[in-house]
């Protein structure tokens, strides 16, 4: 069932827990039952790790519905539009954190895991029974630390979060064969970050190449090597994703969406959308 709003609001960690300092750990039932999280859709300004010990929930991430049940562990990035429905018996943990909190004092290996998760709307981890148990033990310790009043609790939570990503990262390496890191890895991550920040106004590779102080040809080579596509395709993909979100989740007109995404007129936006999606914006919304 499609749920639409007048606009997509940002949900901040402070809306879940007013005492948050970049991270929140709580039972998953409390997170799902939080007033700010109920019966609505938000673009989340934080990252989420959900650990389901028992019961199940249905996650709507953008236009896709996912059934999540024990012992699933899933991550949701900070730019995802999502909502949840869960049964009353659900148990587990939620670990919610901002990018700035996680990136403090991290080494290259761990940040590689983070950037992999950042590039995906949702990721489900398929772990061994032992790894699931280890994750739940770490999160339980995090919950205890979070509930304490020690001044150094953020450092402790950051260390635990690092351990979690090291455990989860093993599965990433298994699914996606690790390659030797080079300058291109930093460039592609910086490029994707820039796209996330500027895609509504900057639709062409020249802007991003200039910001990265490299040529368009070099940026294209990096994108083809690291993402198997062109830099233009990455930019268009981000614009298209946002267009789909706004058509699917809001009552905004096609004209309003076109201007919000930086198009000079509706025909130009409609042509762009149909060329990349195979149907007009109106047809996409009708088929939702």
Co-location of 228 and 190 in the same domain: yes
Co-location of 238 and 162 in the same domain: no
Co-location of 89 and 201 in the same domain: no
Q: Tell me the CA distances in angstroms from 209 to 36, 192, 194, 218, 225, one per residue in order.
A: 39, 12, 10, 8, 16
Q: Is residue 3 in a domain?
A: no
Helix (H) or strand (E) holding 125: strand 122-125
Q: Walk along the chain (288 residues) and give the pLDDT tens digit of each residue.
A: 455 666 777 788 888 888 888 999 999 999 888 866 655 667 788 999 999 999 988 887 777 788 888 888 888 888 788 878 888 889 999 999 988 888 776 666 666 666 667 666 677 887 888 999 999 999 999 999 998 876 678 888 988 998 998 888 777 655 444 445 567 878 988 899 899 899 999 999 999 999 999 999 999 999 999 889 999 999 999 999 999 989 988 889 999 999 999 999 999 999 999 999 999 999 999 887
Co-location of 166 and 70 in the same domain: yes
Q: Which of 117, 150, 175 is the last residue of a domain?
A: 175
pTM of the model: 0.76
Check which CATH number belongs to the domain holding 67 and give it: 2.60.120.280
Q: Is residue 259 in a domain?
A: yes
Co-location of 208 and 171 in the same domain: no
Co-location of 164 and 249 in the same domain: no
* β-strands 81-86, 73-76 pairing: unpaired
Check which CATH number belongs to the domain holding 277 and give it: 1.10.10.60
Give the residue numbers spanning the domain of 60. 9-175
Q: Is residue 2 in a domain?
A: no
Per residue in 225-276, pLDDT tens? 988 999 999 999 999 999 998 998 888 999 999 999 999 999 999 999 999 9
| Lookup result for tokens 């979100």 | 245
Q: Is residue 1 in a domain?
A: no
How high is the pLDDT of residue 271? 97
Q: Considering its fold, how many domains does the chain have in total?
A: 2
Q: Is the dihedral of CA 143, 144, 150, 152 positive or negative?
A: negative
Q: Tell me the CA distances in angstroms from 85 to 71, 240, 257, 278, one per residue in order.
A: 17, 27, 28, 31
Q: Is residue 265 in a domain?
A: yes
Co-location of 150 and 33 in the same domain: yes
Q: Which of 159, 175, 191 is the last residue of a domain?
A: 175
How high is the pLDDT of residue 179? 47
Co-location of 57 and 164 in the same domain: yes
């Amino acid at each position: 069932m499609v749920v639409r709003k007048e606009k997509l609001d940002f949900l901040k960690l402070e809306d879940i827990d007013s005492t948050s300092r970049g991270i929140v750990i709580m039972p998953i039932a409390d997170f799902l039952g939080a007033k700010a999280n109920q019966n609505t859709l938000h673009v989340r300004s934080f990252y989420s790790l959900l650990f389901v010990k028992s019961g199940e929930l249905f996650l709507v991430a953008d236009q896709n519905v996912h059934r999540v049940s024990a012992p699933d562990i899933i991550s949701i990035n900070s730019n995802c539009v999502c909502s949840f429905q869960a049964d009353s018996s659900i148990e587990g943990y939620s670990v919610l954190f901002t990018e700035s909190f996680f990136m403090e004092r991290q080494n290259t290996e761990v940040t590689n895991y983070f950037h992999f998760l950042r590039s995906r709307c949702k990721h489900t981890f398929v772990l061994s029974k032992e790894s699931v148990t280890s994750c739940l033990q770490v999160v339980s310790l995090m919950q205890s630390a979070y509930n304490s009043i020690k001044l150094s609790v953020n450092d402790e939570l950051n260390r635990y979060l690092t351990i979690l990503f090291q455990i989860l990262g093993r599965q990433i390496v298994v699914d996606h064969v690790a390659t030797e890191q080079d300058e291109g890895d930093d460039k592609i991550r910086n490029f994707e970050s820039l796209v996330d920040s500027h895609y509504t106004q900057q639709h062409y590779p020249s802007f991003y190449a200039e910001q990265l102080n490299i040529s368009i040809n070099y940026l294209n080579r990096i994108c083809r090597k690291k993402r198997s596509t062109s830099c233009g395709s990455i930019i268009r993909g981000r614009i298209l994703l946002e267009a789909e979100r706004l058509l699917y989740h809001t009552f905004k007109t096609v004209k309003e969406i076109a201007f919000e995404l930086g198009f000079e007129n509706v025909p130009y936006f409609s042509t762009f959308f149909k060329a990349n999606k195979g149907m007009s914006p109106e047809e996409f919304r009708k088929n939702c």
